[in-house]
Structure 1
Amino acid sequence: MKIDLHSHTCYSDGALTPRELIDRAHNMQLDVLAITDHDTVAALDEARHYQAGLRRPLQIIAGVEISTRWHGFDIHILGLNLDHQEAIFTARLAEQAQRREVRAREMAAKLEKAGVPGIYEQARRLAGQGQLTRTHFARALVKSGQVKDHEDAFRKYLGKDKRAFVKPSWPEIPEAISWIKAAGGNPVLAHPARYDLSAKWLRRLLVEFAAAGGEGMEVTHPQLAPDSKRQLASYAREYGLAASVGSDFHFPGRWTELGKNLSLPEDLVPIWKTWNLAQPQTGKSV
């Protein structure tokens, strides 16, 4: 069984529509896919409706990736296997969407002052009906010739403490965990190796995440070095967290692909153990 529990569509900062994502999941021979857009579940019904008309089976897990704040860091918490239509949960995501919109307009104002006019409208067109994110501003900056690439956009304008950076007002980790659990989901710490934390701070994050009711952590993704993967697996054991796997797929590319290089050590407990899925063989690509 091939499982990928972290992917994005055009409803947040992914490049593919829900239909295109499902088609790619089939091309990559996935059996289970979680759609985890940033602070929105808008893609799920469309994806499931499309999948219902296809012959090849694919189980779509309802998910979300919630942005939180923690000691000055942006930390992302996945909510997996949740009730994405639960009324209170959807209202909370609507609040997150409003926070994103306020932040986007503040970023646009800063970019205007930096000599980049009309950037909000350009970024909004790129986002379409999805959440407006820094990624869309980066794409707009590239498209308008202001910067040479995505990394340059963050280096010059959008990265932390740069000219157009706006500090987000995300909820704290315990609050996001409570949202996920109230919707019947499993809170999972997303890509812990990507936060540029020292070992001491990462351990502190894991302690506080587990103490707040966090249930799992991602231990692998396609670009993760073997040593980092072994270290994350050891943390999962140490802090009693279930293991999750995810590509954090946003678009087809050389380095990231759905279901690519996702495997778990045989002694870790998979986050999907209680999901009524057929259990994959441990120690192999899942």
Structure 2
Amino acid sequence: MKFIDMHTHSTASDGVYRPKELVEYALEKGLSGIAITDHDTIDGIEEAVDHASIYKDFIVIPGIELSAEYHGEEVHILGYGIDYKNSSLKEKLRYLEKERRDRAYKIVSKLNSMGMKLDYESIMQTVQNGVVGRPHIARALVEHGYVKNLEEAFNKYLAQDAAAYVPRAKLSPQEAIGLIKAARGISVLAHPGLIQSDKIIEDILTLGIDGIEVYHSEHTGSLSRKFLEMAEEHNLFVTAGSDFHFPPDNDESYHGDLGSIKISLDSIQKLFRRA
């Protein structure tokens, strides 16, 4: 049976592998495909698609993970099979990229005021042509020895209500779903197990969303069963993904290794045929 990981990140956002390296790593893991779902950007898609074309039976699904907010809680909406050249989508993403850069500058300024000597321009150099996110700043904190690992960086400084947290502009779930649909994509609620309120999950499932990420590296078996029941109740598509950012290193992980959560390629192809 062939399998695909439907939730991956490249250097276009906060992953450590370039898109073409992500394709190669997926092949090493025995996968038959991946969905590229970088945060608020489509910049990694074309490189991944072009590189995958040299392989006969490997598929790259163009995707995105849009950040949204609902009643004060951050929620993420995945988009699959999007037209990544859609003008409305590209315009909104340019706005979100500027917001991310402004937020990163404010976070670094806060950390500097606390005595941590981080350089914003140096962090942006590590981002290169991608979009900056809190994990980039977390890695800088680790590299400078201010924290031991990414978890400590988030807990102490970067998580919501932590010392250097800065909110940023986010879409509403309705806006995120609308952008994906305008780009002829399939919208899916990402990692609902990371959302604190069941009421928020239930509300989002009634906003015209197409599916739910039932299987995720942070979901226990009981959570996956719960979300599978929700998907069946609302007649939604079921997806699965590791939320891969980088391979486990020194016992530190950020979500799951590539392919640690996967779904049959046949199931996803059926999903697209239904959509």
Question: Normalised by the size of structure 1, how large is the TM-score?
Answer: 0.87
Kindly indicate whether the alpha-carbon contact (under 8 Å) linking 1:111 and 1:119 is maintained by their aligned counterparts in 2.
no
Residue in 2 aligned with 1:49? 50
Query: Which residues in structure 2 correspond to 1:40-79 (within 5 Å)?
Result: 40-52=41-53, 54-79=54-79
Instruction: Give the C-alpha shift of residue 271 in structure 1.
Output: 5.9
In 1: Cα distance, 2:191 partner to 2:83 partner: 23
Contact 1:6 1:34 in 2 (8 A): yes
1:90 Cα shift? Answer: 0.8
CA deviations 1:104-133 (Å, max 9, x no partner) are 111112112111233312321222221111
Counterpart residue identity of residue 2, structure 1: F
Distance in 2 separating the partners of 1:55 and 1:169: 39
CA distance in structure 1 between the aligned counterparts of 2:56 and 2:258, rounded to whole angstroms: 17
CA distance in 2, matches of 1:105, 1:176: 25
- Give secondary structure in 2 for the equivalent of 1:55: coil
- The unaligned stretches of length 5 or more in structure 1 are 265-269, 278-286
Aligned equivalents of 2:218, 2:62: Cα separation in 1: 24
2:14 maps to amino acid: D
* Alpha-carbon separation, structure 1, partners of 2:203 and 2:221: 26
Q: C-alpha separation between the residues in 1 aligned to 2:68 and 2:79?
A: 12
Q: CA deviation at 1:55?
A: 3.3
Do residues 100 (structure 1) and 100 (structure 2) align? yes
CA shift, 1:18, in A, is 0.8
Counterpart in 2 of 1:224?
A: 219
Note the C-alpha offset of 1:149.
1.3
In structure 1, what is the equivalent of residue 36 of structure 2? 35
Unpaired runs of 5+ residues, structure 2, are none
The share of aligned pairs that are identical, in percent, is 35
**Cα contact 2:241–2:261 (8 A) shared by 1:** no
Q: Which moved more, 1:174-183 or 1:149-158?
A: 149-158
Contact 2:13-2:133 within 8 A present in 1 as well: yes
- Whole-Å Cα distance in 2 between the matches of residues 161 and 116 of structure 1? 19
Task: Note if contact 2:240-2:261 (Cα within 8 Å) is conserved in structure 1.
Answer: no
Tell me how far apart the structure 2 counterparts of residues 276 and 159 of structure 1 sit (CA, whole Å): 39
Count residues in correspondence: 267
Instruction: Report how far residue 16 of structure 1 moved.
Output: 0.5
Query: Which residue matches 1:13?
Result: 14
Instruction: Tell which deviates more after alignment, 127-136 or 254-263.
Output: 254-263
Cα-to-partner distance string for 1:150-183 (whole Å, 9 max, x where unaligned): 1111122111112210012101110111000000
Superposed CA deviations along residues 31-60 of structure 1, whole A, max 9, x for unmatched, are: 2311000000101111111122x2342111
Report the Cα distance in structure 2 between the residues aligned to 1:155 and 1:261, rounded to whole angstroms: 25
The 2-side partners of 1:219 and 1:81 are apart by: 19
Q: Name the Cα RMSD after superposition.
A: 2.0
CA distance in 1, matches of 2:115, 2:229: 48
